[in-house]
Structure 1
Amino acid sequence: MSNEFGVPEPESLTAMNEAPIAESSVRLALPAEANRIGEIQVAAWRQSYQGLLPDDVLLDLNPAQFAAQWRAALISPGEARNRVMVALAGRDLVGFAAITPSDDPDANPKHDALIAELAIDPAATRSGHGSRLLHAVVDTIRADGFTRLTLWVNSTDDILRAFLTEAGWGPDGAHRELDLYGDESIRIKQIRMHTDPGTTD
């Protein structure tokens, strides 16, 4: 039951917590989840950039700094089509994807969407969360009027590339090199993958 302000009374909160929840799901992220998103991003980066970045750089990644940026983005997303979606295992947040109109030089931001970040907690991989998250992203950008979806992938990340290929993605021929420190001491090669979200029927 609720009080006069519509706030659930304690017994109602207990019932809510005991209510059945989906085993896995995807939804839009909440600002209160920024800390967990930051933790997942750091864990995923430490895995995906192992061997590409120095160990000390990976160890210095600070989840709190990432969390602060995500919290600000979730509170004030700016562009209406900037979205962060999260994958849940029960009530546990295990992955996320950030979507935005593409800012690539050859892109049309009206029609081209970019997954700016896609990360699954390494402890929760191979459980279908990435596939569910990717499907939800495609549905979302289709509803937002985009006709193309892209994602930059490290050229050495065979696992992610195979995952995307199985989902119907393919390379579009674009590639780039990230200059980590601006002095060409550490460069990371990436290729761009893309897919057509299709249309709603």
Structure 2
Amino acid sequence: MADAEVRVAGSADTPEIARIQVSTWRSAYADVLPVEVLDSMDPAEAREQWEEAVGGDSAHVLLAAEGGWTVGFCAAGWAPEQEVAAADGTAPDDAGATALVSALVVEPRWGRRGHGGRLMGEMAQRLHQHGATRGIVWLPEADEASRAFFHSVGWAPDGTMRTLDAGGRPVREMRFTGSLELHFVQ
């Protein structure tokens, strides 16, 4: 494998982040989301949103690269209270120390080369350094690859589910949670 690295994303990286997000979602979620939703994803709009995230101070955005190619990214920050709350709306005792991984995307052609693990490992360290002790992520129930990945870092479903409206099609998501002191399992 060529040299692989993880680094903080900058504003010059947002076109690649947007391209990776749109192309990967269109591929990975073709069986989960309606084609109309995937086709309506606008790379220019995604780029604007990533420019806000990269330029703001509420999220950490990391980039994975291999041999000069951008291959994936991870975004995370403090978990909003409604994201970490129990199904009955009550906040757990550690709500203030919980981070939300809002995106972890590696292009499929670069998969199985350790990029996801490097991104998640670096992100967990950064979040932990800022006082977070636990993380959460919402995953489509049908996304077996992402569920397997988060299991491999020691995270597990916490029993909380939600249903989103994706262009008229319900998409069930499950919340995974785990320590930011990751334990990679094969």
Length-normalised TM-score, structure 1: 0.80
Q: What is the aligned counterpart of 1:86 among 28, 50, 63?
A: 63
- 2:88 — aligned with what? none
- 1:18 — aligned with what? none
- 1:189 — aligned with what? 172
- 1:116 — aligned with what? 102
- 1:44 — aligned with what? 24
- 1:7 — aligned with what? none
Query: Is this contact kept in 2: 1:35–1:67, CA < 8 A?
Result: yes
1:169-193: per-residue Cα shift (whole Å, max 9, x none)? Answer: 1111111111134xxx311100011
Percent identical pairs in the alignment equals 33
1:112-157: per-residue Cα shift (whole Å, max 9, x none)? Answer: 1001111111221111111111111111111111011111111011
Q: Give 1:25 shift.
A: 0.8
In the alignment, the residues of structure 2 paired with residue 78 and residue 198 of structure 1 have an alpha-carbon distance, to the nearest angstrom, of: 23
Q: Give 1:104 shift.
A: 4.2
User: 2:96 aligns to what SS in structure 1?
Assistant: coil
In the alignment, the residues of structure 1 paired with residue 153 and residue 133 of structure 2 have an alpha-carbon distance, to the nearest angstrom, of: 17
- 2:127 — aligned with what? 141
- 2:75 — aligned with what? 98
The residue type equivalent to 2:180 in the other structure is P
Query: Is this contact kept in 2: 1:98–1:118, CA < 8 A?
Result: yes
Q: Give 1:109 shift.
A: 5.2
User: 1:66 aligns to what SS in structure 2?
Assistant: helix
In the alignment, the residues of structure 2 paired with residue 169 and residue 179 of structure 1 have an alpha-carbon distance, to the nearest angstrom, of: 26
In the alignment, the residues of structure 1 paired with residue 105 and residue 24 of structure 2 have an alpha-carbon distance, to the nearest angstrom, of: 6
Q: What is the aligned counterpart of 2:159 among 150, 173, 177?
A: 173
Query: Is this contact kept in 2: 1:43–1:122, CA < 8 A?
Result: no
More strand per residue: 1 or 2?
2
1:78-122: per-residue Cα shift (whole Å, max 9, x none)? Answer: 43xx11011111221110011111114215553010011111112
The residue type equivalent to 1:68 in the other structure is E
Q: Which has the higher contact order (CA 8 A, sep 6+)?
A: 2
Query: Is this contact kept in 2: 1:24–1:90, CA < 8 A?
Result: yes
- 1:12 — aligned with what? none
The residue type equivalent to 2:72 in the other structure is G
Between Structure 1 and Structure 2, whose CA radius of gyration is higher? 1
1:17-58: per-residue Cα shift (whole Å, max 9, x none)? Answer: xxxxx7001111011100000000011211232122222321
Structure 1: any 5+ residue segments left out of the alignment? 1-21
